[in-house]
Amino acid sequence: MESSVLECIGVEIIGVMSPVSICMFLVVLLVYSVSTSSSPDLTIRTAANLVYAENPSDTTAQKLEGALLNAVVFVILIAIVTFLLVLLYYYNCTSFLRHYVRFSAFFVLASMGGSIFLSLIQRFSIPLDSITCFVFLFNFTIVGVLSIFSSAIPIILRQCYMVCLGIIVAAWFTKLPEWTTWTLLVALAVYDLVAVLAPGGPLKLLVDLASSRNEELPALIYEARPTVAPTGRAATLGFLVAGATESGLGSSSIELQVVPTGNEGNRNTHSAGDSVAVVRVEDLRNDEGERSPLVGNVDREEERSPLVEVNRTEREMATREAEEVSERGIKLGLGDFVFYSVLVGRAAMYDLMTVYACYLAIISGLGCTLILLSVCRHALPALPISIALGVLFYFLTRLLMEPFIVGTATNLMMF
């Protein structure tokens, strides 16, 4: 059963890693083309640095203390907002939540996306008048909101706009001070772990409520839905036939075996790894040489065989689980896109070697999380493993690998 689900989920793992990689790549391009070129020391004032504004002249202890305060305050604000969303969802304020999410998407695309768009126009000196710019931005925003929340829009367009939202928000978060950024990433990874897995975690409560109501969460979630449903993932039992063989004088035996039926117009398939149901009946003739009544009832005995029923039940369960995975698809929150991209965006402000190391670490952590998801079969936090590996590889590359590579290259030991 597990192998069939793992096979089914493999395509969806690639379907999640591809948009995450695209999002991180475009954020790195934005960091290089807009942020670092125009004003590298520009920082923004948000809820993430509400308490402490980092100053280059501050000591290391002051920066660390201020960054910790910023991270604690930001996580507390997120927890309060999330519990408020749980409360609203619990009291069936679903329409309000949907309108709130629509407004959030509209604000991000129109305001924050428009600011980045204007920065790109100024950076590359694109000849574009204000009316055309307004019309383009208006259409981009409206189509984006409709694509994200309308079921009639093709899913590929919805996925593209979810990636755009992640790029826009991540590009803004890369403007945070360095110490605040790293402390915030670690704090959010810890919060994500607690919020999803703790018994009273707000995200766990949201997922449990949505599951009990059989509803979709009113949130910005990327869905890696496969385009083609998997076929032949779990084989059915196949035909059972009886064949007589001579086992000695005065006796015979009948073996009931699973026989593959092939693909000639039949739906039932049988793989080499499937178990074989064997029922052996000895001494089919009685003392008078008459045929045993058991032979005539072979088909009915086969239908009632416990081994056959167990095999059939296992295959039905495997088929049902594989179909459920393919129908649901893997869902990844927008925040995961954002903070993966923030990490590689911050690494891009140092050098490309660090970007490569952080990217590989994040993708490896995401792959581990998705494999655990296929095994555990319940919601898992996507930030902790990837962020832990990304932060670890960033500092290892910056403190150890980069000096080693530069030293060997400058001394002509490696080129």
Query: CB neighbours (10 Å) of residue 299?
Result: 12
Find out whether 369 and 13 touch, Cβ atoms under 8 Å. Answer: no
Q: Give yes or no: 336 in active site.
A: yes
Find out whether 192 and 384 touch, Cβ atoms under 8 Å. Answer: yes
CA dist 342 and 86 (Å) reads: 27
Q: Give yes or no: 287 in active site.
A: no
Query: CB neighbours (10 Å) of residue 54?
Result: 18
Secondary structure of residue 393 in the 3-state scheme: helix
3-state helix, strand, coil in the chain (%, to 5): 65, 5, 25
| Residue showing tokens 């694109």 | 126
Q: In the beta sheet, which residues pair with residue 259?
A: 239
37: left (phi over 0), alpha (psi -120 to 50) or beta: alpha
Alpha helices in 293-351 (DSSP H): 293-296, 298-303, 306-328, 334-348
Task: Identify the DSSP state of 34.
Answer: I
Find out whether 87 and 94 touch, Cβ atoms under 8 Å. Answer: no
Catalytic residue among 41, 129, 192, 299: 192
Angle of CA points 35, 40, 42, to nearest 5°: 90
| Residue showing tokens 């993430």 | 48
Give the containing element (helix H, strand E) for 86: helix 60-90
User: Which of 30, 187, 58, 49 has the alpha carbon at shortest distance from 117?
Assistant: 30
Find out whether 137 and 9 touch, Cβ atoms under 8 Å. Answer: no
User: Which of 102, 99, 84 has the alpha carbon at shortest distance from 206?
Assistant: 84
Task: Identify the DSSP state of 285.
Answer: B
Task: Identify the DSSP state of 151.
Answer: T
* Alpha-carbon radius of gyration of the chain: 30
Catalytic residue among 41, 58, 336, 351: 336
Query: CB neighbours (10 Å) of residue 66?
Result: 21
Find out whether 394 and 358 touch, Cβ atoms under 8 Å. Answer: yes
For 185, phi then psi, to 5°, come to -65, -45
Catalytic residues: 192, 336
